[in-house]
Structure 1
């Protein structure tokens, strides 16, 4: 039986940016971080939650365009020149890995899950585990399993 999170437990998270906001996800859930040289087909996909797929090392990766998915439809998302793709270890029913297009990837940090605070924003609440402070920055912890569906 799984035990509750102990106040002394630590989790390693990978931090990344989307526009002006900093996010994180469990580092153990991420298989790799890749540079994206041509994101045109992803950027023009009708559905940012299913923005197509790419092949990485012979494996299919279903892409979620997070900058567009997390932006109001009335606002235009400014694309950066060198986006990154977080490729997750999880796969869907078709054995395709999940991948998130993000702006910039930082480093891993060790945090205490019990330091999470409830989020105060209404957007993407189902996808957010909570907020915490890392190195003086406000960071939103995303629930990757919820985003993957």
Structure 2
């Protein structure tokens, strides 16, 4: 368990199911059990116009408020314009913040879940800019960056 009471999912003796998704040309993953649902987004215009991609507004899902992190913009250099795809997805997470709002990540495309051996995770050099990256691994021949949703949500 970590200091917040969460089970450490990178124990070298366990398998973990991850959900893979894309942002532009990069492939990412997150623990599948942290994701409550994947939704299509029909009108992301207000999210795209938000000043802060890390707090790009909120949407209502099944009567619950979901704070949106616009990952394509958050992970892109400010000098580069991110081209929007026609059918972005919203990953809605299972954990609510102290205000009772859930978190959602706007992403380009969502793939499937994969069960992987946690020992395959290669840690990356940590810096404050990359604190949300758990490491890298190869899944089905693709280089995948594993994101730590707890770090991104604070």
Q: TM-score, normalised by structure 1?
A: 0.93
Contact 1:23 1:142 in 2 (8 A): yes
Distance 2:28 2:129 in 1: 13
Please state if 1:85 is matched with 2:90: yes
* Runs ≥4 residues deviating over 6 A: 1-4, 120-123
Distance 1:4 1:101 in 2: 24
Distance 2:108 2:153 in 1: 19
List alignment gaps of at least 5 residues for structure 2. Answer: 2-6
Deviation at 1:125, TM superposition (A): 1.4
Distance 1:3 1:42 in 2: 32
Superposition map of 1:114-129 within 5 A? 114-119=119-124, 124-129=129-134
Change (3 A) 1:121 1:71: farther
Distance 1:14 1:63 in 2: 18
Contact 1:12 1:109 in 2 (8 A): yes
Superposition map of 1:65-76 within 5 A? 65-76=70-81
- 1:21-45: per-residue Cα shift (whole Å, max 9, x none)? 0000000000000000000000000
Distance 1:104 1:23 in 2: 10
Superposition map of 1:28-107 within 5 A? 28-107=33-112
Q: How many residues align?
A: 149
